[in-house]
Copies of this chain bind each other. A is one copy, B any other.
């Protein structure tokens, strides 16, 4: 489960629903099923308080990126275009990657970073799950 701290739960829900997700709300918290995971939207100050962490920063780069791995270059372009028209900022247009894939990044209205990636070395299952290949090394 991944909980995204957001400034405005309704605004964030509307953004992700424009991407085609369907959320359910309870106690001012929105839950999306995403494959075998759940993505949750919750007020950022409530999340910080619940986690016992002081929130000195209002947003900006959170130091991590969520990735949506897709099955083709065309799908990367499609998801990024959909995100842009839903109001995302495209921080990195799709481009060829050093590992032989193709990827770009967007940020959601709260600055959470998402990569949209096609990586031919990482199998994407029918349910969207991803399998790290055996590198044959440690």
On A, residues with C-beta under 8 Å from B are 1-5, 24-27, 31-33, 35-38, 44, 47-48, 50-57, 59-67, 69, 91-92, 98-99, 105, 107, 110-113, 115, 117, 122, 125, 127-132, 134-135, 137-138
Q: Is B50 touching A56 in the complex (CB atoms < 8 A)?
A: no
CB contacts (< 8 Å) of A137 on chain B: these are: 24-26
Q: Is B1 touching A37 in the complex (CB atoms < 8 A)?
A: no
CB contacts (< 8 Å) of A44 on chain B: these are: 63
Q: Which of A44, A64, A66, A128 has most chain B Cβ within 10 Å?
A: A64
Number of chain copies forming the complex:
2
Give the 3 A-B residue pairs with the shortest CB-CB distance, closest first: A36-B129, A62-B62, A52-B92
Residue of B nearest to A90 (CB): B52
CB contacts (< 8 Å) of A31 on chain B: these are: 132, 135
CB contacts (< 8 Å) of A134 on chain B: these are: 24
Q: Is A51 touching B36 in the complex (CB atoms < 8 A)?
A: no
Q: List 11 A-B contacts (CB under 8 A).
A: A3-B67, A27-B98, A31-B132, A36-B128, A38-B122, A51-B61, A51-B65, A51-B113, A53-B61, A53-B113, A54-B60
Q: Which of A25, A63, A66, A129 has most chain B Cβ within 10 Å?
A: A63
**Complex Cα–Cα for A130 and B129 (A):** 13
